[in-house]
Structure 1
Amino acid sequence: MSEEKAKKGYSADSIQALEGMEHVRKRPSMYIGDVGVRGLHHLVYEVVDNSIDEALAGHCDTIHVTILEGDGIKVVDNGRGIPVDLHAKEGVSALEVVMTKIGAGGKFDKDSYKVSGGLHGVGVSCVNALSRHLEAVVHREGKVWKQEYERGKALYPVKEDGKADNNGTTVTFFPDPEIFDQLVYSYDTLASRMRELAYLNKGLTITLTDERETDEKGEFIKETFHSESGLSEFVRFLDDARESLIEEVIHVEGEKNGVPVEVAMIYNTSYSENLHSYVNNINTHEGGTHLSGFRRGLTNTLKKYAEDSGMLDKLKFEISGDDFREGLTAVVSVKVSEPQFEGQTKTKLGNREVTAPVSQAVSEMLTDYLEEHPKDARSIVQKVILAAQARHAARKAREMVQRKSVLTGTGLPGKLADCSSKDPAECEIYLVEGDSAGGTAKQGRDRMFQAIMPLRGKILNVEKAMQHKIFENEEIKNIYTALGVTVGTEEDERALNLDKLRYHKIIIMCDADVDGAHIETLILTFFFRHMRELVERGYVYIATPPLYQVKKGKKADYAWNDDQRDKLIMEYKGSGADSSVSVQRYKGLGEMNAEQLWETTMDPEYRTLRQVQIENDMTTDRTFSMLMGDDVPPRREFIEKNAKYANIDT
């Protein structure tokens, strides 16, 4: 930074307006991904990211996020406050430029922020454009400044509104019902992201308050997120439902070739790999060059140690990179001044200059750790050897499944009742619990585009199974072959090949009882751990059969929850007839005949399908390991906390 610019600091000249924002309201999905639940929550992240940028620059250590009555959001930080002086180019206050110009913000001026987060520079102006009302209040240089907006347009020029004895910015906004499908914020979703941000920015305090709900003491629901050790604590949190293989978290933090790198990792006794990567606090769930650097450093260093120790001498086949990552939980975080994003959802880092610094940092970290902890080092290498042996067995089991498909012509399971259409975009398959319900579904379906695949009993819990056991499980083999999905390429033995995927809707349909809920969870665990790309592409759904039939004489209606049931009962009783209304509780799909199953659960015109989405990688991974792993106390706590949401009869 030049001496002249350093003196100037963070002022109106630091704000650059790159382009107008007329397009945002017409094409909101281009800016925030979608106008559903995910896009709604992304508005909060954009505002919070502005405050995080102040924290990254060393000017903010506390952020308060509040969900207001009416589903508004208030974000308060103690940063420097957005500049309010006149913007030379635009002729209005810099605050108004930031709030009403897409792409405007200090993050585009390298002298104001070395690095910044946010959705690739979209900024708070996008939030303003998609809010029915937004208020910005700035405490700066001893004064309070204020401006309000409706759907992105300023209601009046920035005005002075009192004196201030502190600095900071407060943004309060209410999402626009003309834009969003629904306006209800999920406390748990926001809490997951705030927790994640606290781990990624150690020393920062973030509070989340929900003013829509009070606890038993009559106080608002509130949590405080703060981490002193950052990623080490993050990894412990992610892995708290798994059994650790080594005693300590392996951690490194520092700058390599000008790139700030932080890595934390630990090995556990599970068979899954859990890598989470971030660039400037953005979750890069498609990976990228930083993750490549991590894998290279890990594989090369561990392989050299294992070879030098002589522990690989008796192994008859080559160890692959996958083997070194089985049972590994790791978080990789880098800061990049000008990140380049690629991939289907623009969450894959493309900066090539990042690979070497991360690889070097991981290599140095591991070398030191292995030398200082020989017992842990031996445990890790033994785990790697077991993983290699299991992978070798899994390859044989997988080849048997895929060779059988080729030898038997179509290779489709005998239990599959396929559909006539061969266009995956219009075809859907129901994975149905039990042969009985499967038979009813086969009778009730539309044969043109609906396929039925009955599953017998409970499929394997893949969270606790080695890979070769998965390919030996009959029901899982049937799912692979029915979908037309294959596993394994020359580069990656666990890669999923969807080129011959036969259905773009995969619908899980289970009974509305405890067993049905368990089977649903087992199938979802399998998809998340081994067919995750299907979920990420939006191909996985859960059917919603009704819970009740309310009947009076020849008239009958269906209810999907207790409120609907009670409303129907009241309507029927109010019709004047003196008979007691009958209510049937459907526990199993088999209790409905084919016509009922079609009209309530399978008819595209009237059915309700719930699309399975991954809102937060970290939370989803932790939830599956907690629900399906060996550690009982966290599972019991989860069940007790969430029992009120269940509508399941035993």
Structure 2
Amino acid sequence: MQNVSSHLYDESKIKTLSSLEHIRKRPGMYIGRLGNGSHPDDGIYILLKEVIDNAVDEFIMGYGKQVDISIEDNGLCRVRDYGRGIPLGKVVECVSVINTGAKYNTDVFQFSVGLNGVGTKAVNALSSHFMVCAYRDGRYKKAVFSCGDLQSEEEGETDEKNGTLIEFLPDGELFSGFKFDREFVDKRLWRYAYLNAGLRLYFDDNCYYSEHGLLDLLADELDGKELYPPFYFADKSLEFAFTHTDDYSDTYYSFVNGTYTSEGGTHLSAFREGILKGVNEFSGKKFTGKDVRDGIVGTLAVKVQEPVFESQTKNKLGNTDIRPWIVNTVREAVATHLYKHPETAELLMDKVQRNERVRRELQSVRREAKAKARKVAFKIPQLKDCKYHPRRGKPSREGRENMIFITEGQSAAGSIVSSRDPMTQAVFSLKGKPMNVFGQRLDLLYKNDEMYALMRALDIEESVGNLRFDKVILATDADVDGLHIRNLLLTFFLHYFEPLIKLGHVYILQTPIFRVRNRKQTTYCYSEEEKEAAIKALKGRGKADNVEVTRFKGLGEISPPEFKQFIGPDMRLDRVDIDSVSEVSRVLRFYMGKNTPERRQYIMDHLVLRPV
């Protein structure tokens, strides 16, 4: 007897999607994530980046020193460059046919990010409105699209300067409720300016311009925090700058062909190795990587003719062939610089030797802590782990993320453990208030049982790159004690593991403060304003209904069935971000230091009294 199901699978079921249809069908393959603009890696910023990349590529090739950018309230973006302009006969193909573009031709574009010919095509496909207009030698060609479908074309004469204008509106059906955060755009534009000294970008009446490139980036990040004048090197394909601070961890801002590689890659690991070899060559000693790198803040930009990225969003470089020349160039440059500048060399070597002493002092403390942990249990008692973890040092792919909730006390942990997804959600419960570690030495990590257990649970002792979770979520009560615990945890991460926050792994869970309900409907509210609006709405639907308002004093008061929706796909998370490296020590010193009278006066000066 023939299988009936075979009749359901025949030639009619085989579909061939056009290039742009495939982008709309599988947008994650091209832009990483969709989102609504509340996260700096959301798709709308990738679309804007792809368009600006093309404008900046013109500047890199020596054409056009200005880029004009505007974003209207409805999300309509315009990017105008003053480069060569797309050849008029290929305008439509360049924005609608995959693998079409001049960036395959190294005579035209030697160093470009968009080598795969997908960038503006993805913007076109994922925009409800997309317009491209090229100006060349007194003529123009304009094409208008909707969701990748060509709507109209026109061409003629013009007085406009050569260049390209692209206008797009992200598709609201794909980017539901999207809104551009101007702070995120501001950060991206400053990076373009730092990486392209001499380029002027205009946005919101602001001009983004850098005269000294990566040195300006480093200076703005450090704001006087450096131990010695930054070391700077640049040639045709490699530019870098670095110095040391008194911090424990090392921080880097790495770029490939002008795009920020937040996850680093072979260029960054080669840079770090080159610094180590250069210092050892100069000193004639064999310091470890941790001895040399602890406290470094560095910036690195490389130009590669054929970059290989691990995803379309270009967060991590995969080229292995570039490693040897970066290592050797950095090694030689660092050793030569230290020979030529003995004052800088003395300050650098003093920092490295202090790092070495701290490491050796920690060795015995670490051995004792590990031996003690083995005696207590093979597993970490406060951790309820999940089953799924990303590959070591690599983020989760295909949209699957895992996370760990750090809670205060057993009652809050109980609600989350009962309602979590055990495949991807882990829980670490604190026994009490964590210690204020600001100003404490690194050995405290090994002497404090709770801090040591948390470090082991995250597996970040050797490197933040070993982090076992995509997201570290602080889930504390929405009261004074909860906020205090949250600040103590943030201090812990900022003091000892700053890159964890810099790389965007730490979040704060927003949980409802009020439950407002009547017999027919329940609304959860996250603020006083939301509560008042909910009461008004429910009362307006039936005067006979009594409205009940419950104030949640802690997470433990929310039942597991209720809690499940607050840690599900629609959970409210606020990512913890760092404005600059210099801000960290300043903020920690004020809020967590031993300056109680100053803080008390600040509170009194800024106290807001609400009417009862």
Q: 2:433 aligns with which of 457, 460, 463?
A: 457
Is 1:143 paired with 2:101?
no
Is 1:173 paired with 2:168?
yes
Distance in 1 (CA, whole Å) between partners of 2:80 and 2:497 is 41
Q: Secondary structure at the match of 1:467?
A: coil
What amino acid is the match of 1:23? H
Are residues 124 and 392 of structure 1, via their aligned partners in 2, closer, same or farther at CA, if it must alter by over 3 Å? same
Contact 2:384 2:417 (8 Å CA) reproduced: no
TM-score when normalising by structure 1: 0.76
Distance in 2 (CA, whole Å) between partners of 1:423 and 1:295 is 31
Are residues 362 and 422 of structure 1, via their aligned partners in 2, closer, same or farther at CA, if it must alter by over 3 Å? closer
Alignment correspondent of 1:509: 475
Q: 1:244 aligns with which of 223, 226, 231?
A: 226
Alignment correspondent of 1:469: 444
Q: 1:374 aligns with which of 324, 342, 348?
A: 342
Q: Secondary structure at the match of 1:156?
A: strand
Q: Secondary structure at the match of 1:22?
A: helix
Distance in 2 (CA, whole Å) between partners of 1:559 and 1:613 is 20
Distance in 1 (CA, whole Å) between partners of 2:458 and 2:271 is 33
Q: Deviations over 1:478-511 (max 9, x none)?
A: 2234x373734xxxxx36656xx5x887542112
Q: Deviations over 1:23-59 (max 9, x none)?
A: 1111111111112241121000000001011011000
Contact 2:507 2:576 (8 Å CA) reproduced: no
Contact 1:487 1:496 (8 Å CA) reproduced: no
Alignment correspondent of 1:77: 81
Is 1:34 paired with 2:12?
no
Contact 1:340 1:349 (8 Å CA) reproduced: yes
Alignment correspondent of 1:389: 357
Once the two structures are TM-superposed, the CA of residue 172 in structure 1 deviates from its matched residue by: 0.7
What amino acid is the match of 1:453? S
Q: What number of residue pairs does the alignment pair up? A: 561
Alignment correspondent of 2:65: 61
Alignment correspondent of 1:127: 123
Q: Deviations over 1:411-468 (max 9, x none)?
A: 433xx3748x8677999754223x4xx3354368518847561342244447x55433
Q: Deviations over 1:357-406 (max 9, x none)?
A: 43344344433432343233212111111111212233433333333333
Q: Deviations over 1:186-228 (max 9, x none)?
A: 111111111111000000011222xxxxxxxxxxxx4221001
Alignment correspondent of 1:16: none
Q: 1:269 aligns with which of 231, 246, 271?
A: 246
Q: Secondary structure at the match of 1:155?
A: strand
Distance in 2 (CA, whole Å) between partners of 1:583 and 1:244 is 53
Contact 1:552 1:572 (8 Å CA) reproduced: yes
Equivalences for residues 90-489 of structure 1 within 5 A: 94-118=90-114, 120-160=116-156, 162-209=157-204, 222-240=205-223, 243-246=225-228, 248-255=229-236, 260-307=237-284, 319-342=287-310, 347-413=315-381, 416=382, 418=384, 430-433=405-408, 435=409, 438-439=410-411, 441-442=413-414, 445-446=417-418, 449=422, 451=427, 453-461=429-437, 465-481=440-456, 483=457, 485=459, 487-488=461-462
Once the two structures are TM-superposed, the CA of residue 229 in structure 1 deviates from its matched residue by: 0.4
Distance in 2 (CA, whole Å) between partners of 1:535 and 1:249 is 21
Alignment correspondent of 1:628: 588
What amino acid is the match of 1:249? P
Are residues 631 and 570 of structure 1, via their aligned partners in 2, closer, same or farther at CA, if it must alter by over 3 Å? closer
Structure 1's unaligned 5+ residue stretches are 1-18, 86-93, 210-221, 313-317, 489-493
Contact 2:516 2:548 (8 Å CA) reproduced: yes
Are residues 515 and 44 of structure 1, via their aligned partners in 2, closer, same or farther at CA, if it must alter by over 3 Å? farther
What amino acid is the match of 2:126? L
TM-score when normalising by structure 2: 0.80
Alignment correspondent of 1:7: none
Q: Secondary structure at the match of 2:264?
A: coil
Structure 2's unaligned 5+ residue stretches are 1-17, 390-399, 593-597
Once the two structures are TM-superposed, the CA of residue 332 in structure 1 deviates from its matched residue by: 1.0
Once the two structures are TM-superposed, the CA of residue 290 in structure 1 deviates from its matched residue by: 2.5
Q: Secondary structure at the match of 1:389?
A: helix
Are residues 443 and 227 of structure 1, via their aligned partners in 2, closer, same or farther at CA, if it must alter by over 3 Å? closer
Once the two structures are TM-superposed, the CA of residue 323 in structure 1 deviates from its matched residue by: 1.2
RMSD of aligned C-alpha atoms? 3.9
